[in-house]
Amino acid sequence: MAEQSVTLEQIRDLLVDHLGCEPAAVTPEARLAGDLGCDSLDVLELVIAAEVRWSIEISDDEVPEVEDTTVATLLALLSAKVEASHG
């Protein structure tokens, strides 16, 4: 059976791999831009990596604005997409 949710640990691994941030910095409240140093290009790379990892599709209008996005927001988006596509 396919995995039906995305965990904080999986998001942490993805962010650490792509941003080079410290694992301890990746908390639900952490802001991608302000706390983790993510820019708009990083967001696109993260979206592509997530699409490949979880076999999902995220449309351009669903890509979050990096300035306003927290790890929790990203987790909720990815979890919803995984559940919808594999559910």
Catalytic sites, residue numbers: 39
Q: How far apart (Å, rounded) are the C-alpha atoms in residues 3 and 54?
A: 9
Q: CB of 3 within 8 A of CB of 59?
A: no
Q: How many CA atoms lie within 13 A of 52 on its CB side?
A: 7
Which residue bears the tokens 């999986």?
10
Owner of token pair 């290009």 = 41
